[in-house]
Structure 1
């Protein structure tokens, strides 16, 4: 009887730890998504400003 109770406690602890790990993984996925979106926008802004700078230099030459 005591062994069964101990197993139930162990299983409940395992369930709690698995749920916590899932929550951490979900948080990591959302942060990775935000970081990738941020880098995408940053690279798009840098590329567009670089292209505009080239056009502006060409405009100054003519």
Structure 2
């Protein structure tokens, strides 16, 4: 009886560890995705800023 309870306890611990590992993996992939999204946002922001600067130069040259 004692061996059976010990085995059940070990199984519950292993299941809990599996859930913790799955949650950690999910969090890591979510963080990685967020970092990737932030990087893409910054690249697009830089491109938009460059185009707005060019547009500003064109408008400035037309006003002169």
Matched residue count: 62
Give the distance between the partners of 1:60 and 1:21, measured in 2 at CA: 58
Give the distance between the partners of 1:10 and 1:22, measured in 2 at CA: 18
**Gapped runs of 5+ residues in structure 2?**
none
**TM-score, normalised to structure 2's length?**
0.87
Q: Runs (4+) of structure 1 moved beyond 4 Å?
A: none
Q: What residue number does 2:40 align with?
A: 38
Alignment pair present for 1:20 and 2:22? yes
**TM-score, normalised to structure 1's length?**
0.89
**Gapped runs of 5+ residues in structure 1?**
none
Q: What residue number does 1:52 align with?
A: 54
Give the distance between the partners of 1:9 and 1:54, measured in 2 at CA: 67
- Secondary structure of 2:36's counterpart equals helix
Give the distance between the partners of 1:8 and 1:59, measured in 2 at CA: 76
